[in-house]
Amino acid sequence: MQDHHFDVVTNVVGLVAAILGDKFYWWIDPVGAILLAIYTITNWSRTVMENAVSLVGQSAPPEVLQKLTYLVIRHPGIKRVDTVRAYTFGVLYFVE
């Protein structure tokens, strides 16, 4: 949804700026392009900051590690557990 909204805003603003720049003042088109560049930078920067934690491989919270350890110990083929680690992997966890 976020990507679609971004596409609609940039297409509408770009088209309106181009038409107004052609019909009225030449500088409207470059100003529209600058505004779109600023909008693009701020929009995608915000998206990156929201998702940076899941992209850098942050360790899972202790309660998740406890649940994972419990599940591993309960598995019939496991005799002993030394260490359980889990890191963010997008919206999921990479467990070792």
Q: Domain segments of the chain: what residues? A: 2-74
- Closest residue by Cα to residue 86 from 65, 55, 69, 63: 65
Contact 20, 27 (CB under 8 A): no
pTM given for the model: 0.55
pLDDT at 89 over 80: no
**pLDDT of the residue at 71:** 86
**pLDDT of the residue at 38:** 92
Tokens of 56: 């850098």
Tell me what the mean pLDDT of segment 60-78 comes to.
Answer: 85
pLDDT at 51 over 80: no
Distance CA 31, CA 27 (A): 6
Distance CA 72, CA 49 (A): 33
Residue 2's pLDDT band, with cuts at 50, 70 and 90, is confident
Distance CA 58, CA 85 (A): 11
